[in-house]
Amino acid sequence: MVRQTTPPGAAEILRTDPNAVYLDVRSEPEFEAGHPAGAYNVPLLHLDEATGRPQPNEDFERVVAAKLGRMTKVVVGCQSGGRSQRAAEILASLGFRDVTNMQGGFGGARDPSGQVTVAGWQESGLPVETQARDGRSYAELKSA
């Protein structure tokens, strides 16, 4: 069972534990458009250019395991909370001991009518960056 939190709860985890990591599992373009300050980016899925459909990132597990130790406290986020839940489950199955899914993601979770059910990181007024810090973009992480 993966722990759950909201964006303010995730920000509190990151504030109180300097070793905690925010892992953004959105696509590279989504990440580059804006992400939680200090986040690492390893997409769970890639868009298949031929079909226009999302496909699993075959390197997800390898890249995350190479960068983050299994004892690292990891908060996983995406756009609304679905991809991050799946990524958090994968990490837990790989032996990561302290994984939390951030419900609401960066952009907020919505019900079928479009009403916000959980405000996202950005809507919560939490720190946002558009430039990845050194060593935190997917391009850098996958080549390390």
Give me the amino acid identity at 73: K
Domain that holds residue 17: 3-143
Integer Cα distance of 19 and 116 in angstroms: 31
- The domain total for the chain is 1
Tens of pLDDT along the chain (144 residues) come to 899 999 999 999 999 999 999 999 999 999 999 999 999 999 999 988 889 899 999 999 999 999 999 999 999 999 999 999 999 999 999 999 999 999 999 999 999 999 999 999 999 999 999 999 999 999 999 997
pLDDT of residue 12: 98
In this prediction, residue 89 carries a pLDDT of 97
CA 84 to the chain's CA centroid: 6
Q: Please name the residues in contact with 102: beta carbons below 8 A apart, sequence gap of 6 or more.
A: 5, 6, 7, 9, 10, 75, 76, 77, 81, 84, 121
Q: What is the CATH number of the domain that holds 120?
A: 3.40.250.10
Following DSSP, what letter does each residue of 14-72 receive, concatenated?
A: HHH-TT-EEEE-S-HHHHHH-EETT-EE--SEEE-TTT--EEE-TTHHHHHHHHS-TTS
Q: In this predicted structure, what is the pLDDT of residue 48?
A: 86
pLDDT of 144 reads: 77
Catalytic site residues?
Answer: 78
The model carries a pTM of 0.95
Contact 141, 63 (CB under 8 A): yes
Q: Do the strands 35-36 and 109-110 form a parallel or antiparallel pair, or are they unpaired?
A: unpaired
